[in-house]
Amino acid sequence: MKTRELQTLWWDWLGTSERLLRSLHEQTAAVTLRDVSRVQRIQPELDALLERVRSIDERAVACAQRLAEELETEPSLRGLVRVLDKAEAQQLQGLANRVMVAARNVQDVLEKNRKLIEGEMLYINGTLTLIAKAAVNTRMPYRRRRESVLVDNAA
């Protein structure tokens, strides 16, 4: 089997992406529940898994390019599938489809979590702005009223 190394890398990528998805869903829950300590606890694991996925991806691309050079075809999945025997080509194409679907799922959850975190940051910023305005607008009998720089920075 000519594509054994590439398929092994893709299977490793799929396993890592499953662990990454579980961690991303845990991050979603933590952000939704506004559990800051849980978000902070999950982040190192997410960073490590994302780095592992990138590393495997880079190795798989290099492996596919070497394989394409050996088989004297264009360095693409379509080029590889064209020159392989039918059974191996179908196996490689099926595994590639699974990797693409998993990559889309990871990307979707990453995007959803990014939007959730941005929404929380906007909420926090708005709350801090209201607190700063309330602190500035309190009237004291012997105090002159003046605007604070804090309100301008928060706004």
The CATH number linked to 66 is: 1.20.58.300
Say how many domains are in the chain: 1
Could you tell me if residue 135 is inside a domain? no
**CA distances, 126 to each of 39, 71, 132 (Å):** 21, 59, 10
Could you tell me if residue 92 is inside a domain? yes
**CA distances, 6 to each of 48, 75, 128, 138 (Å):** 22, 13, 51, 67
pTM of the complete model:
0.78
Could you tell me if residue 26 is inside a domain? yes
Look at residue 144 in the predicted model and tell me its pLDDT.
55
Could you tell me if residue 152 is inside a domain? no
Torsion of CA 122, 127, 132, 137, to 10 degrees: 130
Residue 98 exposed, middle or buried by CB count within 10 Å (0-12, 13-18, 19+): middle
Cβ pair 102, 56 in contact under 8 A: no
Look at residue 142 in the predicted model and tell me its pLDDT.
55
Q: Residue 57's domain spans which residues?
A: 4-113
Could you tell me if residue 150 is inside a domain? no
> Which residues of the chain register pLDDT less than 50?
154-155
